[in-house]
Amino acid sequence: MKLHEYQAKEIFAREGIPVPMGRIARNPREAFEISREIGSEVVLKAQVLVGGRGKAGGILFSSLEEVEEKSRKIFSTEIKGERPELILVEERLNSVKEFYLGITFDRSRGRPVVMTSSEGGVEIEEVARRSPEKITWVEVDPLKGIYPYMIRKLSRPFPKEVRKEAHEIIAKLYEIFVKYDAELAEINPLIYDGKKLVAADAVLNINDDSLFRQNFKREEEGIEGIASREGFSYVTLDGEIAIIGNGAGLTMATLDAVEMEGGKAANFLDIGGGVPPEGMKKALEIVYMNEKAKLVLVNVFGGINRCDEIAQGIRMFFEERGGKLDKPLVVRLTGTNEEEGRRILEEIGIEVYKDLREAVKSAVRRVKNDTSL
């Protein structure tokens, strides 16, 4: 379960990690009142559970006079298919230098990995690709915990005057990672303002299997939250072709096939196995929420899932919308009861293929040609 930035910062502050002064606003007027309390320039941050909000206009600096106008703009901005319902209003920090601190679980090693870098404010993957020597990392035995010598090593990228403070923040973030059963705990950037270190951003992803013992309510919003509640694996992407598949491997292969033909996927949605017609209908409802998607591609290999039941779900969705879809639908069906499934779809005029490559070619061609599809 992904936490919003403000939720992660509440935990960080409670556990002793410095965070900027700020609060959540639910409307532009609240944003103005919070800004007035802060009494200085602020940063307005859309609270959404997808990446890329900065590039999409979801993070804006503002004076008190501009707060209502700019917060209204953020509330009306769609960020990868989601409209923010909350804005975090925070004091604007004076940044002398930005650092990175993150902890993730390396499944290949079977243990947490803690990383720091002098290159903060950018994706750590980009730093690893461009300047791997600027990343300091250690593996931690989960049964023994993190030792002081490890933390001293991780503190090296920080200025000497705040190295002790960095030492404390690293130790506390590891405590949070363990205490809250996290899969990812990240501060990027961890800002040095010339006097102290402050967590300008906060990411905390909780292992779903631990929620029974963690006191969290699911507050996921938008498409990813709805998909999660329905039991689907869903990831928002930047392309124009929405994808539904059954099984992570098949769904990923479909994304690859679309890329190979020159298209770009708008999402990854894995319905899993044994999905009834109602489940297939719900999956379509979810991907049709993504306003960036221009076309929907369904790829199902009938094994545990039966092709006729998948087709029934598609028909239910089609009929519920009065036989008119605002995005074209291309379907590839093969496997158990595929002939019956194809018959059902052909009766309602849905484009259906047996061969994946032909289905992908059709989807990509239609999006590229676009003429209202």
- Active-site positions read 100, 186
Instruction: With beta carbons less than 8 A apart as the criterion, state whether 32 and 68 touch.
Output: yes
**CA–CA separation, 274 vs 285, rounded Å?**
18
Instruction: With beta carbons less than 8 A apart as the criterion, state whether 81 and 222 touch.
Output: yes
Instruction: With beta carbons less than 8 A apart as the criterion, state whether 272 and 247 touch.
Output: yes
Amino acid at 114: V
SS3 325: coil
DSSP characters over 217-281: -----HHHHHHHHTT-EEEE-SSSEEEEESSHHHHHHHHHHHHHTT--BSEEEE--SS--HHHHH
Tokens of 241: 């072709």
CA 211 vs CA 181, 204, 215, 309, 336: distances in Å: 9, 14, 7, 32, 36
